[in-house]
Amino acid sequence: MYANYLVLFAILFTGYFLRKIRFLDDAMNHGLNKFIVYFAYPCMIVHNLGTLEMDEEVIVDFLLMLLLTLACFFAYGGWMYLYCKFRKVPRDVSNIVELSSLSPNNGFMGFPITLIFFGERGFLFMLAHNAAMNFFVFTYGTHVLRRNKDAIRRRTPRLIFRSFLKVLFNPNVIALIIGFLISALHWTMPEAIDEYLVYIGNVSTPMAMIYIGSTLAGCSMLEILKDHIVIEGTLNKLIILPLLTYALVILLPVDPLIKAMLILGCCFPAAATISMLAEQEGENETMASKILFLSTVLSIITIPLSIKMINLIVM
């Protein structure tokens, strides 16, 4: 297990190094992001779902995973709201701390890691986890970011609706639907098309790790470690919320793999989506970037431990 994980993070540090020596720049990073999100990941999703043996039980389990994930996210939202109130986190950053701490990077980091360690069925459940998170972030998350009255005045119902549709019907969701239809209809893809999807999809894992590493190269660790709010938000993200998830799901009478994916999905570092949303809403995107950076660095330690514990206790 650790050998595979070390390979992933060796690729991540390759991206970090390439950015530090200015081999990669902002424009290249932006292009890399778009290629992965809009092309490589959809190819990987269509191939992995399209070749999955789909039956009624699998569909029911997928929907169950979707609903349980949403329930967990609302529990996280309640916990983080109370935590920020109790700790008296300043209002200008509390919204960001809440949302960054409960939103995992279950796409960029979650997809490749899940596929490596838990196979295609685990990947299917992580897709459900990601879909539920997108729905949660662009409904409840938007509400959290708009608590500031100035932000509310800048937003119109039409703009909110368009933003919601833009993300809900992103290429990954479309690929999810296509893959489901191929599998459910028991349609066998032509070999050439399937090979194409495999080749493109296979580059998504290393490229995603390079992108994350390159993104992290722009942050100062010393500055981040001086901010106790960032540290507390990160500890909630990587330790407290996974433990809360374990307590919520361990006794549920469901497939152990569903429980494992609910816990693992919460263990990933903060999602980059929150930084982009914060900028759009005029909130403190710097705080979101700091939590993203620290949680990603520390996840080098916490994710292998989490996978080990999940395999020992849940599976």
20: in domain: no
4 lies in a domain?
Answer: no
**Sign of the Cα pseudo-torsion (41, 46, 49, 55, in order):** positive
Q: Is residue 1 part of a domain?
A: no
Count the domains in the chain: 1
CATH number, position 149: 1.20.1530
Name the burial class of residue 134, with classes exposed (0-12), middle (13-18) and buried (19+) by CB atoms within 10 angstroms of its CB: buried
In a domain, 301, yes or no: yes
Strand-pair partners of 270: 104
Range of the domain at 96: 25-314
Residue 77 lies in a domain: yes
Query: Helix, strand or coil for residue 270?
Result: strand
d(CA 94, CA 163): 23
Helical H runs in the chain? 2-20, 26-35, 41-50, 56-86, 91-102, 110-136, 142-145, 149-154, 157-168, 171-184, 191-202, 204-216, 221-225, 228-235, 241-249, 256-267, 273-280, 285-309
Tens of pLDDT along the chain (315 residues) come to 566 667 877 888 898 899 999 998 888 888 887 888 788 888 988 888 787 777 788 889 989 999 999 999 999 999 999 999 999 998 878 899 999 999 998 887 888 889 889 988 898 899 889 888 888 887 788 778 777 654 455 556 676 676 667 656 777 778 888 888 888 888 888 889 999 999 998 888 788 788 878 877 877 778 888 899 999 999 999 999 999 999 999 999 999 999 999 999 999 999 877 876 776 677 777 788 789 889 988 998 999 999 999 999 887
Amino acid at residue number 154: R
178 CB-near residues (< 8 Å, 6+ apart): 46, 50
Assigned domain for 281 exists: yes
User: What dihedral do alpha carbons 203, 8, 257, 73 form, nearest 10°?
Assistant: -90
Alpha carbon distances (Å) from 151 to 53, 140, 146, 255, 280: 47, 15, 5, 42, 10
Residue 121: inside a domain, yes or no?
yes
In a domain, 220, yes or no: yes
Which amino acid is it at 265?
A: G
Does residue 70 contact residue 128 with C-beta atoms inside 8 Å? no
3-state secondary structure of 21: coil
